[in-house]
Structure 1
Amino acid sequence: MSTSSTHPITWLHHAGQRLGLVPSLGGSVAAWQLDRPQGPLDLWRPWDGATPDLYRLASFAMVPWSNRISGGGFTHEGTSHPMRPNRAGEPYPIHGDGWLQPWQLAQPAPDTMVMTLESRRFDGNPYEYEATQTFRLVEGGLDQELQVRNLGSDPLPFGLGLHPWFPRTENTRITTPVKGVWLCGDDPLPTAHTTVFPEGWNLNEGMQAWGSLIDNGFTGWGGQARIAWPELGLQLTMRMPDFEQDGGADRHFCLVYRPPQGPAFCFEPITQPIDAFHLPGRPGLRVLGTGEACSLCVQWRVEAIGA
């Protein structure tokens, strides 16, 4: 992987792994790799080191909201907050605005890197916040935390999410406990919720990483997941250590983006479903007053299949 002179990669090497961060390009991850005698193995689909398209990075943080907001913005406590689209080809603002700004990088310990962002009404958005991403390489995996703190003078609804891209082999499967799914139109804004999964969509039984388009949020999520690569004899598991303390399934969701083509798919842990700002009860959104914060913590672990 080459290193862009415009957006250089900073590498952390620890516990038999390599993690590359690109703070200047949306505080993104360029690569997360497992050291092996035959060469590094990418656990997230790696960046090519050149394109500035965030959808080509290995992962990025979604803050201060995740996924799409319809209706030209939202209203909170009687105040209307207009927002405009932020990605070419997207009719709605998507994935927050942290991914569109440069972050600051620090390394407080040999196994840890931290990126921070102070955002003040970026692109006319109503949010003023401080966001912190912490990455710690540990034996067997990666501990990741995303935190946001409201710096504004008024309470606002916040949401968080992580957007990693996973390489997919022919037999790659994703398995995670869920109870329902939001169906959608072409937008893909949610149109109806169901506990009857379309054929091949039941994540409880395992979903193939290859197939027709899925770009949908799932409800009743259990805060853990497993991605298996049988051809490699490996699986990547994730769990959220603060899941129950932070509201459990009522305040957490997951999203699967499975494009029909390409070498990768997405499994996204999120604190609110697509367009939560316009769903009844605004599920998962956290209203933060001045100085208040919320966070999303994920532990990723690499294991031999059957371990």
Structure 2
Amino acid sequence: MNDPVAATGRQFEIVHGAARAVVTEVGAALRSYDVDGVAYSETYDADERPPGGAGAVLVPWPNRVADGTWTLEREPQQLALTEPERHNAIHGLLRHTAWTVVEHAESTIVLHAMVPAQPGWPVPLLTSIGYALDDAGLTVTHTVENLGKRAVPFGVGVHPYPRAGLAETDDCTLRLAAATVLPVDPERLLPVRPPRALEGDEQDFRRGRRLAGVLLDTAFGGAVPAPGDSLVRHSLTDPSGHGVELWADPVFKWVQVYTNDEFPGRGRAVAIEPMTCPPDALNSGTDLITLAPGEDWIAQWGLRPF
């Protein structure tokens, strides 16, 4: 008799020196990342469904689509309402798909998945995600290729839960390279007004804020590299000044931050989710990427302990 398959499918390990990461077959999610046995990403058991979207790859859109409806070249599209309690489609089409491993070496892995033409998404896409460990940390590479016969807009996001080693989340300081915040309806978490510039108020994390007492399920925009830098950088730092940096290519102009008070085995945790576009971008058009037939796109982000 075959052993039962974990809820997240097969588990793929990569290692580099003292660093180790585990990626799942279902969803191609980052299930764990640690160095010298110290976790820099919240983890969960292989037999659990990823809690709070942990590690999810959000393609061909991140976050929410209001009522699951959008329009492509004046043709109405209706996506499945995968967040029925809010009447939204959420986090793309690949969270529950078994991805195919196309490369797997000691410190690297690449997985592919197809977004087939389907109700609500009429243009097929080929997607891949690569995870690589080296001395600098973990690098994640996304590609998307348009296999259809017409151009299509899309977005990409991911849902990691960075962890500042052994420190409690409430003792950590969050810093975001974000200059705006997106006002949303508190019930449906959909945009209700344009982004608002941050001016040193309680939602401005550019200089860092301790997370004790902070509740967020919030989209921040205007994330750009610092002068002289080429990457967007967010971080979570413990009281001693050590922690983890989440860096991203400049195309990741948005970041969703979600404080999860019930992460299994951990309690309070924080998701820092780089996104190329904001919630409901398929309707607003804000920062969507458009791929012509046969065209592909590539971008990276990563985690760096310090």
What TM-score do you get using the length of structure 2 for normalisation?
Answer: 0.85
Change (3 A) 1:277 1:291: same
Among 299, 302, 307, which residue is 2:302 paired with? Answer: 299
Among 129, 136, 140, which residue is 1:144 paired with? Answer: 140
Q: For the Cα contact (< 8 Å) 1:181–1:219, is it kept in 2?
A: yes
- Per-residue deviation, residues 60-115 of structure 1 (Å, max 9, x unmatched): 21111110011431112211111121246442111101112110124343321111
- Per-residue deviation, residues 284-303 of structure 1 (Å, max 9, x unmatched): 10111212122331132111
Q: Report the secondary structure of 1:146's partner residue.
A: strand
1:47 and 2:47 correspond: no
Q: For the Cα contact (< 8 Å) 2:254–2:278, is it kept in 1?
A: yes
Q: 2:173 is matched with which residue?
A: 173
Q: For the Cα contact (< 8 Å) 2:61–2:155, is it kept in 1?
A: yes
Change (3 A) 1:215 1:276: same
CA distance in 1, matches of 2:47, 2:120: 29
In the TM superposition, 1:231-246 aligns within 5 A as: 234-240=242-248, 242-243=249-250, 246=251
Amino acid at match of 1:50: D
Deviation at 1:141, TM superposition (A): 0.6
Q: How many residues end up aligned between the 2 structures?
A: 285
Q: Report the secondary structure of 1:170's partner residue.
A: helix
Q: Report the secondary structure of 2:51's partner residue.
A: helix
Change (3 A) 1:51 1:299: closer
CA distance in 2, matches of 1:57, 1:72: 19
Deviation at 1:30, TM superposition (A): 1.5
In the TM superposition, 1:50-65 aligns within 5 A as: 50-52=47-49, 54-55=50-51, 58-65=54-61
Q: Report the secondary structure of 1:42's partner residue.
A: strand
Q: 1:263 is matched with which residue?
A: 268
- Stretch of structure 1 that moved more, 130-139 or 6-15: 6-15
In the TM superposition, 1:31-180 aligns within 5 A as: 31-35=32-36, 40-52=37-49, 54-55=50-51, 58-87=54-83, 89-121=85-117, 125-167=121-163, 168-180=168-180
Q: 2:204 is matched with which residue?
A: 202
What TM-score do you get using the length of structure 1 for normalisation?
Answer: 0.84
1:225 and 2:226 correspond: no
Q: For the Cα contact (< 8 Å) 1:182–1:218, is it kept in 2?
A: yes
In the TM superposition, 1:2-41 aligns within 5 A as: 5-6=6-7, 7-23=9-25, 25-35=26-36, 40-41=37-38
Q: For the Cα contact (< 8 Å) 1:176–1:224, is it kept in 2?
A: yes
Deviation at 1:221, TM superposition (A): 0.5
CA distance in 1, matches of 2:206, 2:5: 40
Deviation at 1:212, TM superposition (A): 4.3
| Percent identity between the two aligned chains | 22
CA distance in 2, matches of 1:89, 1:15: 45
CA distance in 2, matches of 1:145, 1:287: 19
Deviation at 1:118, TM superposition (A): 1.4
CA distance in 2, matches of 1:204, 1:122: 41
Deviation at 1:205, TM superposition (A): 1.8
Amino acid at match of 1:203: F
Unaligned 5+ runs, structure 2: 225-231
Q: Report the secondary structure of 2:47's partner residue.
A: coil
How well do the aligned residues superpose, as a CA RMSD in angstroms?
Answer: 2.3
